[in-house]
Structure 1
Amino acid sequence: MLPFCREFAKQMGVTRSGNHLALVQFSGYCRTEFGLTGYFNPERLEEAISMVRYMNGGTRLGQALDYTLKRVMNASRKGPPTTVNKAVVVVTDGASEDDVASPAKALRNDNVQIVVVGVGSGIVQEQLELVADGPANVYTVEDFAQLNKALAGRLKAKICEK
């Protein structure tokens, strides 16, 4: 998973005046690994991603979406300006144990595009499509080994097409 995050960050490119990235990890609870204004230097961003330690536990995707909206995208109204494209990429390997419809809708109401990557056999396609507002923003892979450079490129293209 972390190699994929590093590849995605590399392809997106981060700069103070361009793309900003944040990383939120979730299981039974949520944790911000770094916020949207944390890193503008690609090497330091890669180091930060490498320092992430995986969380274990459940899959509370609805809670994670709500957390991301309130604590990352709109953190003290210091989130991204309304004039920039905003997107959330969700990577999940399980069915959510909580409601995803309301928090996903709240993000979309804030003009945030949601792209979902489902990994493995524990996902529920209908739930992913509900979060992503349809199948066009959903990608599925059989295992974490398939999270690769090509997929990172497709995600970047999807996010940047808006």
Structure 2
Amino acid sequence: MNTVLLMLSLIATAQGLRCMTCENARSHEDCDSQGVMRECLENELSCAIEERKVNYGPGRLIFKHCKQPLACNNNYIQNDRPAWWPIQCNDKFPNSVCRCCCFEDECNIGHERCFGKAAISCGNQEDVRGGITTCSDGNRFRSKCDFQCQAPAQIYPPDSSSSVCLEDGSWSKPAPCCANPCPALAVVDLVIILDSSSSVGEAGWQTLLSFTRSLLSLYTLGNNSVEVAVVRYNAEVDTDNIIPLDNGFNRDELFAAISSLPYDGSGTRTGNAINFTREFILENGHGHREFAHDLVVVLTDGRSQDDVAVPARLLRERGVMTYAIGIRPDQAPDNFDIRNDLLNIAGSEDHFFVVEDGFSRLNADFAEEITREICSDPCGLTPHL
């Protein structure tokens, strides 16, 4: 008799799996607050969640219910996914659905316990500068963000047109930029600082001017692309023959003005010329454009007689990209070394060049080499937006 009573008691108290049920809820919170907790049938041994998106709209519809494990397994088979991933998603256009099954009481309340990795989110994906960012599911796990640029700008790096939110909460690739083709369509206020000290000599000076024209010939010059200023210096800055950014010259007129720059003087106060560039050439009111990036290129054949580190650092603190080209004279003594000055000017090993063979190497090929380095990160030469 006791055995019969015990069996009857077990039958009376046994309960089925308990799952939240709702249809067409606008969020998990709405579903859980307005839905009904239901005891499932004997063959419904799992709780399920469906998240549906219609026409790739920003919202989703939430469905929760009891489900047979066999139906859950069929979902797994029908929708490809990594073996470790518990979610079954079908991202067909224009509608999509993601499903998940779990097997404990009330495990489909919220979404974390059922979806597991669906609770993972990455940091907000940055909008691509100068373009459009479109994400399939915000910053949630498995969301894919696609980046597009408006012509003529192009995605850079070229293999960064999309990024996916990964299991570890990071994006598979950082947001790219929309970069104009460089050098052709770079948007830059370019200042060239030329050393005309006595060690350069008349022949060397003419080579410097020829090299400057070769360098500039690689860029598109104009109000919406590259504007050019040229500063000549020795012990002092030649303020009588400055070519400012707002010179108003077309290409031929600019090249003629460069060719007519005089050569004379002694002394090499490069720091003074850099300070002049920061305080005058790159100040608003002298042709400096707020939307353009700033690039300063210094050409010198000797060690500076004043400090260059602080003036160059002050330039870079304003966001100016600095490059330095040092010409080692043909007859320079063995202990002649301007690398330290060049590094202080450029701020990086990648931003300075030493010409070991004197002025003869300052030719069109070398201008292209310099330009390839300057354009190695075209994101730094796109307009400020």
Fold shared per TM-score above 0.5: yes
Residue by residue over 1:56-112, the C-alpha shift from the partner in whole angstroms, topping out at 9 and shown as x without a partner, is 21110110100011110115474231x322110000000000011110011001111
Q: Counterpart of 1:97 in structure 2: which amino acid?
A: Q
Structure 1 match to 2:343: 129
Q: Would you tell me which structure has more helix in proportion to its own residues?
A: 1
Maintained 8 Å contact 2:280/2:286: no
The alignment status of 1:155 with 2:370, answered yes or no, reads yes
Q: Distance in 2 between matches of 1:158 and 1:40?
A: 27
Residue aligned with 2:238, SS: strand
**Of 137, 143, 156, which aligns to 2:358?**
143
CA 1:72–1:57 in 2, change beyond 3 Å: closer, same or farther?
Answer: same
Of structures 1 and 2, the one scoring higher in RCO (CA 8 A, sep 6+) is: 1
Aligned-partner residue type, residue 358 of structure 2? D
Q: Say if 1:118 and 1:140, in contact at 8 Å, map to a contact too.
A: yes
> What corresponds to 1:66 in structure 2?
275
Structure 2 distance, partners of 1:102, 1:29, is 18
Whether contact under 8 Å (1:117, 1:139) holds in the other structure is yes
C-alpha spacing 1:80/1:157, structure 2 compared with 1 (3 Å): farther
Return closer, same or farther for 1:19/1:50 CA change in 2, 3 Å cut-off: same
Gaps spanning 5+ residues in structure 2: where?
A: 1-207, 381-385
Question: Does the 8 Å contact 1:92/1:118 carry over to 2?
Answer: yes
List, as ranges, runs of 4+ consecutive aligned residues in structure 1 with deviation greater than 4 Å.
none
Shift of the alpha carbon at 1:40?
A: 4.4
What is the match of residue 215 of structure 2? 8
Q: Which residue of 2 aligns with 1:27?
A: 234
Tell me which amino acid in the other structure corresponds to 1:151: F
SS at match of 1:34: coil
Instruction: Compute the displacement of 1:12 (Å).
Output: 2.1
Q: Cα distance, 1:159 vs. partner?
A: 2.8
Amino acid of the structure 1 residue aligned with 2:345: V
Q: How many residues align?
A: 161
State the distance in 1 between where 2:354 and 2:317 align: 25
**Amino acid paired to 1:23:** V
Q: Which residue of 1 aligns with 2:259?
A: 50
Q: Give 2:353's aligned amino acid.
A: Y
Q: CA RMSD in A?
A: 1.7
Provide the rounded CA distance (Å) in 1 between the counterparts of 2:370 and 2:265: 25
Task: Tell me: CA distance 1:78–1:14, structure 2 relative to 1, closer, same or farther (3 Å).
Answer: closer
CA distance, structure 1, for counterparts of residue 344 and residue 360 of structure 2: 25
- Deviation per CA, 1:112-161: give whole Å up to 9, x if none: 11100000145510111111112110111121111111221222233333
Equivalent position of 2:293 in the other structure: 85
User: Counterpart in 2 of 1:99?
Assistant: 307
Q: Alpha carbons of 1:39 and 1:157: their partners in 2 closer, same or farther (altered >3 Å)?
A: farther
CA apart distance, 1:31: 2.2
Higher share of residues assigned strand: 2
Match of 2:224 in 1: 17
Gaps of 5+ in 1: none
Q: Matches of 2:284 and 2:367 in 1, distance apart? A: 26
Residues 25 and 55 of structure 1 are in contact (CA less than 8 Å); yes or no, is this contact kept in structure 2?
A: no
Partner Cα separation in structure 2 for residue 146 and residue 75 of structure 1: 36
Q: Distance in 1 between matches of 2:337 and 2:245?
A: 28
Give the structure with higher Rg (CA): 2
Percent identical pairs in the alignment equals 29
